[in-house]
Amino acid sequence: MKYFKKIAGKKVYLSPVNPEDTEDFKAYTKWINDLSVSIGLRAATNIYSLKSEKSFLENMARGGHFYAIVLVEGNELIGNRGISACRA
């Protein structure tokens, strides 16, 4: 199985990001270089290569809670999300 259901809902689930999965980091690289996506992430002025995105994913995977967002129906990757502790 490519993904592991760590936190599951009715329509989507979160799976730990696997930076070794070539298809996933290619998808992330395509998305982050899409202007309509990168503007919302304040990353529009940067250009991301496959190598730099893989490195980013490796760092995020080592650093804690960084997940692929996957549709339950069809196990399709639709995004990613990091979760960090909040301090009041």
Per-residue pLDDT of 33-44, as tens digits, reads: 888 888 877 778
Q: What is the pTM of this model?
A: 0.80
Between residues 84 and 1, which one has the greater pLDDT? 84
CA gap 51, 83 in Å, rounded: 23
Q: What is the pLDDT of residues 14-23, one digit of tens each?
A: 999 887 888 8
Once rounded to an integer, what is the mean pLDDT over residues 62-80? 90
> Edge-to-edge strand order for the sheet containing 77-83?
7-8, 12-16, 65-71, 77-83
Average pLDDT across the chain, whole number: 86
Q: Looking at residue 84, what is its pLDDT?
A: 73
Q: Looking at residue 15, what is its pLDDT?
A: 93
Alpha helices in 5-87 (DSSP H): 22-32, 35-38, 50-63
- Please name the CATH architecture into which domain 7-83 falls: 3-Layer(aba) Sandwich (3.40)
